[in-house]
A and B are shown apart, each in its own frame.
Chain A
Amino acid sequence: MGLNRNVSLSAGLGYKGGGPYLTYILHRIGGSALFIFFTVYILSLLGLESMQALMGNWIFQTFMLTFGLFHAINGLRISILDLSPKLIEHYRTAITIEWMVYVLVAGFALFVVFRNAFGG
Chain B
Amino acid sequence: MEVTVKIFRYSPEKDERGHYETYTVEAHENERILDVLELVKGHKDGSLAFRRSCAHGVCGSDAMRINGRNMLACKTLVRDVGANITVEPLLGLKVEKDLIVDMDPFFDNYRKMLPYLINESPLPADGKERLQSPEQRARFDETTKCILCAACTTSCPSFWASEEYYGPAALMAAHRFVFDSRDEGASQRLQILSETNGTVRCHTAYNCTNACPRDIHITQAIGELKMAMVTGNLE
State the A residues within 8 Å of B (CB). 1-5, 7, 11-12, 14-18, 20-21, 24, 78, 81-82, 85-86, 88-89, 91
Contacts and interface: CB of A to CB of B under 8 A. Distances in A.
A5 B163 contact: yes
B204 A12 contact: no
Interface residues of B, number: 35
Interface in B204-224: 204-207, 209-210, 217, 219-220, 223-224
Contact of A12 (B12, B91, B226): B91
Contacts of A81: 204, 223
Interface string B52-87: 000000000000010111000000000000000000
Interface in B5-36: 10, 12, 17-18
B91 A91 contact: no
Interface stretch (B93-101, B133-141, B186-194): B93-101
B217 A15 contact: no
A16 B81 CA distance: 13
A20 B220 contact: no
Contacts of A85: 220, 223-224, 226-227
Interface of B: 10, 12, 17-18, 65, 67-69, 91-96, 102, 105, 155, 157, 160-161, 163, 203-207, 209-210, 217, 219-220, 223-224, 226-227
Contacts of B223: 81-82, 85, 88
A86 to B, nearest CB: 8
29 contacts: A1-B12, A1-B96, A3-B95, A4-B94, A5-B93, A5-B163, A7-B160, A11-B91, A12-B91, A12-B160, A15-B68, A15-B155, A17-B69, A17-B207, A20-B206, A20-B207, A20-B209, A21-B205, A21-B206, A24-B157, A24-B203, A24-B207, A78-B204, A82-B223, A82-B226, A85-B220, A85-B227, A91-B206, A91-B209
